Amino acid sequence: MLSVAIISHNSERLISKCIKSVIDISDDIVVVDSFSEDRTPQIAESLGARVIKREFRDFYEQKNFAVSLCKNEWVLSLDSDEIVSEELRNEIAKKIDFKNIKYSGFLIRRRNIYLGKTVHVWSNYVPRLFRKSRAMWKGEIVHESVEIQGKIGKLKGDIIHYTYSSCKEHFAKTLNFGEKSAIKKYLQGERGYRIKLLITPFWEFFKHFILKMGFTDGTRGLIISYSAMIDRIIRYSLLWEKNEIRNYEYEEDPQIQLK
């Protein structure tokens, strides 16, 4: 049949919905949890999932590890904040014969929910259903994707992605991802950050708000576009800091007194 590989961390808010959305189409649900501090592992186990705890290093490595634990050749890879829609569930159960199929994987549309409403600016197709022997997660610290060898089809149903529960959570993750990206770029020896700091924030806003039609999502689209802009400001500011003033040491000026 079908295995489902899920990665999780402090996901008790949605892990139950995630697992319940695939119980009827999978005989093997694997959850790789990066030592959650909430009830995520207990909830997953109560629903019949196999839970393996593993330290998180990066997304693609964690997802590859989860896939490697799956018993079946065909795997559906999910994050713990993603839910399989009823249409997609029926499509997988009734229209796909995993024993006799010409494809190595399928693209699935991801419908993103931001602050309680579907947004179009992040809408995309992602390769999430694939043969384990023909696919590999690859990418960077933050952005990862599946590379599939062979013919790829496209399904009609959606994966519903609950992105952020609040603006505070959104911008906290923007800062976190920006920091991780800056570290990676620094370790790779990247330069040219001044011109990128000048240009890329405005380009990212334009790309999200205009080219990706964020303006159709109202205030949500505006906030998302601003967050993309802030992400670039963070990563290239921190990269500049690491390269230009890494030997900086603070020396207290006795003439300065804080009041």
Q: Which two tokens stand for residue 238?
A: 């921190």
Enter the tokens of residue 8: 């999780």
Residue 34's closest CA among 23, 24, 44, 22?
A: 44
Which amino acid type is present at position 151? K
- The pLDDT of residue 99: 87
Amino acid found at 200: T
pLDDT attached to residue 257: 41
Other beta carbons within 10 Å of 11: 24
List, in sequence order, every residue forming a beta bridge with 105; answer none if it has no partner.
Answer: 130, 152
**CA-CA distance, 258 to 251, in Å (whole number)?**
15
Is residue 69 a contact partner of residue 31, using CB atoms and an 8 Å limit? no
Q: Are 217 and 130 in contact (CB under 8 A)?
A: no
pLDDT number for residue 3: 98
pLDDT number for residue 190: 83
Q: Which residues, including other chains, have CB under 8 Å from residue 119's CB and lie 6 or more apart? A: 112, 113, 214, 217, 220, 221, 224
- Side chain identity at residue 258, one-letter code: L
> 169's torsion region: left (phi>0), alpha (psi -120 to 50) or beta?
alpha
Q: Identify the DSSP state of 133.
A: G
Tens digits of pLDDT across the chain (259 residues): 899 999 999 999 999 999 999 999 999 999 999 999 999 999 999 999 999 999 998 899 999 999 999 999 999 999 999 999 999 999 999 999 998 899 999 999 999 999 999 999 998 999 999 999 999 999 866 678 899 999 999 999 999 999 998 999 999 999 988 888 888 888 888 877 788 999 999 999 999 999 999 999 999 999 999 999 999 999 999 999 888 775 454 444 444 343 3
Q: Give the model's pLDDT for residue 219.
A: 97
**Which residue ranges form the domains of the chain, and what is each CATH number?**
2-164 (3.90.550.10), 167-244 (no CATH)
